[in-house]
Amino acid sequence: MALSISDIIMQQVNSSAGKIDIPSSIRSTVLSGLSDSILGSLTQTAAKSGGIDQIKSLLTGGTKAASSPITALAGSIFAKKISGLGLTKDTGNAVSALIPGILGNLSGFIKDRDGDGDVDLNDILISLTGGNSGGGLLGAAGSILGKFLKK
């Protein structure tokens, strides 16, 4: 089975955060929080009007990650997740600064996965669910939200 977008995000998080000095006692929590925040921003964006087009534009390279509202949302979610963990302001800022790069590295992840010759909603859903689009739109949305809410 192909890697899901959550797997790709976590790989990007782990490779990007390698040079940041995060206390070992909270490193896993911080990196999981970063990954969850990015996936959460994609999930929340997908649920709102025009969100699929925003995701498509970001993940196909049409919008730069640094200026995307998806990036801003991920930063906001992450700030809430790490509050109270005891990170220094500099370390928190350094980790937050990784978000645009990670989202930028996801560019090209969304491809024509259903073989119909274009990138559309179904391709995005297949990518977000790791290749399982069973149950149609409602089933895919439930799968995406289920993965996000479990963490």
**Which residues have CB under 8 Å from 64's CB, separation 6+?**
104
CA-derived radius of gyration, the chain: 15
Q: What pLDDT does residue 74 have? A: 96
Q: For a pLDDT cut of 70, what percent of the chain falls above it? A: 72
pTM for the whole thing? 0.75
Return the higher-pLDDT residue of 7 and 94. 94
| pLDDT tens digits along 19-31 | 899 999 999 999 9
Name residues whose C-beta falls within 8 Å of residue 93's C-beta, 6 or more positions apart in sequence.
Answer: none
